[in-house]
Structure 1
Amino acid sequence: MLCLGLGAFIAIGAVASLKGVSPVELFQDEPSATATGEAPSAPEEKPGTPGAAPPTWKEKPPAPEEGVENPVVFVARKVGPSVVQVKLFLPETQRAPRQYIGGGSGVIYRSDGYILTNEHVVGKQIQGVNPIITVVLVSGEELEAEVVGADRLTDLAMLKIDKVGLPAAEFTSTESLQIGDLAVAIGSPFGLEATVTQGVISAVQRQEYIEGRVYYDLIQTDAAINPGNSGGALSNSKGQVIGINTAILSPTGVDAGLGFAISSDVVMGIADQLIEKGKASHPYMGIAGEAISKEVAEKFDLEEGFRVEYVEPGGPADSAGIREEDIITKVDDTDIKRYGDLIKALAKKGVGGTVTVIVARDHKELQFEVTLIERPAELQG
């Protein structure tokens, strides 16, 4: 999607172009080594054997110490071993050997082999075939992985490898994030594993439409993020993961200081579901509409909130009495100022929960009790 002609939002972990030059090549995680634009092939490696040389903190990094002079060093030591490289291969056939086609990054979510990444990194068939997925640990050990769960709506996926005792990352809420806080990105841009970059939190709660998905709680950062970073970690100064690096806004396809990560608040609400049942359930009200900003509200004598433009007949909102043209101003104890506020408020209650919805109708405040259902499969993205 082009943004005012200045650049494009790009999901930053995808497969490499197999031949020729195409827009897909912008997403490959290793730079082309030929003038023809053909994607390079990684050396054939057998799963379970050491791959590329491990990063400088080695297999057993020094124990990090809070308050070290350089906080980025602390973060790199603490979070680095929890970030992996994800590789995708086309399987071997009678006509061709196994072929490397791209990849991204991942974050160790649980010590018993569960690894979080982006759905757009691992969720696509290539030439009608499911790719072979491998994970490269900080030690250089490479293991085959399977996708145990994926959610296209939030662009998250969970991988599983056959290994225990892994250094799981610590995730934390983003509610206390402030603009200007330190942000450290760790991942495998262009296939360069365990790359660490630093910046600041540029904005929070961004909502963007990127490659067919609505991302509703994005963290914006100027820490350098490039193709191959998708699925990697964005950390705070305490070495806690606050987001999963996912996309960039760039006129060139590489970092331009506008990177975006899925908030850990979204991640933590989805990850355990992917492990437990292989999918995520999303609460559903049965409405569509758009946010009314403070400026628009003042100009047209409206209330600030989420304006309902469509109510699904027989859906939860319709059954509760909500109508088109209503403006939702509050759900339970959450003020609604943008689409993301509404989605987060519903997620707190979950499928089957009942929320109290405050709406403005003809400048009168009305209250409705809405019982949420599971979002229909055809609307899962």
Structure 2
Amino acid sequence: MENSVVQITARTPNPNLQIITNGNPSTGQSTRLGSGFVYGKQGHIITNSHVIDGASTADITFIDGNTYTAKVIGKDTSGDIAVLQIIDNFSPENLVPLTIANSSSLQVGQQVIAIGNPFGLSDTMTTGIVSQTGRLIPNPDTGFSIPGGIQTDAPINPGNSGGPLLNTQGQVIGINTAINSATGAFSGIGFAVPSNAIIRELATLTKTGTFNHPWLGIAGGKITPDLGQSAGLPRNYKGVVVGSVQAGSPAEKAGLQGVTQSDSTTTQHIGDIITGADGHPLRSIDDLINYIDLHKSIGDNVGLTVNRHGQIMNLNLVLQARPPSLGNQTAQESILP
């Protein structure tokens, strides 16, 4: 993977760090270390958006130690994908672009390889398997989840973010992006943004600098046994319980209803239960988010099958562009399409 995977060093102003030089105060800088990989021969580097968050340029260092400046030409904060382009003369480097594969063909148990710069240790390779696919990766920066995530047990640590997750043919199947850990160190569960998301966004990010996701506008969750029993639903009933509906959203315009509370009591009444989207059955909120984000676009129509207090109805809505963030919503509320 020489001249294919790079170390990325991004520096951003830190207003909490004040430096006094000759009696003159100035704002210090924070440094982020991450990884990235070469795409094409024009000096494009793909990485995570959070690696370069707040920076307009970054240093790109190859395995031979050569460093070049790259500018950020596109980023999708919500999907955690960014594209950089080297602006220095990089002709001394024999760039070796990586091939991006189709992540929809991944199988649980398939061997994978993670390459990156954990703790600044350049060009480190670790191996593992695909533990599961279709995971929702929480994104606390926006409040929205990243759909279709690949779960892997290949060791991923700070500094690996933005590096490629490869199949055994050396093709990119994802971007290493997060770990599930209480300590910040790898604990056996890592996540990668699927390569199909890269394929979908790359041309738009490179051309316009941004990418807009389709938006439904609900907060929802699964049907627990207690909830199903209290609502009089059949055992093992599947669907998405609508908790709340965002103001001005496609869901509100279509008439979806969330949980309501009686004016005179504290009793809550269950909201709509979405059981299907465009004829596809939904088992959980994961199915709905993955379907909307990976298979639909802004302006598309979506037909929802809804159970409202035992009455089955069909609601049609038109998807809008997702807002930049959900404000101060918690990470748990990122299970919102």
**Shorter-chain TM-score range:** 0.7 to 0.9
- Residue among 131, 136, 159 paired with 1:207: 136
CA contact (8 A) 2:161 2:175 kept: yes
1:161 CA displacement: 0.9
Matched position secondary structure for 1:346: helix
Matched position secondary structure for 1:175: helix
* 1:58-100 deviation line (CA, Å, top 9, x unaligned): xxxxxxxxxxxxxxxxxxxxx5542211113479x9949x989
Which residue in the other structure is 1:167 paired with?
Answer: 96
CA contact (8 A) 1:283 1:346 kept: yes
- Residue among 333, 342, 347 paired with 2:288: 342
Q: Distance in 2 between matches of 1:292 and 1:111?
A: 49
1:215 CA displacement: 3.4
Assess, with a 3 A threshold, how the Cα gap between structure 1 residues 345 and 275 changes in structure 2: closer, same or farther. Answer: same
Map 1:210-359 → 2, pairs under 5 A: 211-212=140-141, 213=143, 214-292=145-223, 299=229, 301=233, 303-324=237-258, 325-347=271-293, 348-359=295-306
Assess, with a 3 A threshold, how the Cα gap between structure 1 residues 220 and 135 changes in structure 2: closer, same or farther. Answer: same
Which residue in the other structure is 2:65 paired with?
Answer: 140
Is 1:107 the counterpart of 2:53? The answer is: no
1:305 CA displacement: 1.8
Which residue in the other structure is 1:85 paired with?
Answer: 7
1:121 CA displacement: 1.0
The residue type paired with residue 155 of structure 1 is D
Assess, with a 3 A threshold, how the Cα gap between structure 1 residues 366 and 173 changes in structure 2: closer, same or farther. Answer: farther
Which residue in the other structure is 2:115 paired with?
Answer: 186
How many residues align? The count is 295
Assess, with a 3 A threshold, how the Cα gap between structure 1 residues 332 and 172 changes in structure 2: closer, same or farther. Answer: farther
Assess, with a 3 A threshold, how the Cα gap between structure 1 residues 253 and 377 changes in structure 2: closer, same or farther. Answer: closer
Normalized against structure 2, the TM-score is what? 0.77
Normalized against structure 1, the TM-score is what? 0.68
CA contact (8 A) 1:332 1:345 kept: no
CA contact (8 A) 2:32 2:52 kept: no
Assess, with a 3 A threshold, how the Cα gap between structure 1 residues 368 and 251 changes in structure 2: closer, same or farther. Answer: closer
Is 1:119 the counterpart of 2:41? The answer is: no
Residue identity over aligned pairs, in percent, reads 37
* 1:240-288 deviation line (CA, Å, top 9, x unaligned): 2111111122344322222211122333333332212111101122322
Which residue in the other structure is 2:75 paired with?
Answer: 150
Q: Distance in 2 between matches of 1:380 and 1:280?
A: 19
Matched position secondary structure for 1:289: strand
The answer to which structure has the higher strand fraction is 2
* 1:112-132 deviation line (CA, Å, top 9, x unaligned): 2221111111103xxxxx475
Let me know the Cα RMSD of the aligned residues.
Answer: 3.0
Matched position secondary structure for 1:250: coil
Q: Distance in 2 between matches of 1:260 and 1:367?
A: 35
CA contact (8 A) 1:292 1:337 kept: no
Assess, with a 3 A threshold, how the Cα gap between structure 1 residues 186 and 321 changes in structure 2: closer, same or farther. Answer: same
Assess, with a 3 A threshold, how the Cα gap between structure 1 residues 110 and 299 changes in structure 2: closer, same or farther. Answer: farther
Assess, with a 3 A threshold, how the Cα gap between structure 1 residues 345 and 210 changes in structure 2: closer, same or farther. Answer: closer
Gap runs ≥5 in structure 2: 14-18, 259-270, 329-337
CA contact (8 A) 2:165 2:192 kept: yes
Q: Distance in 2 between matches of 1:314 and 1:220?
A: 34
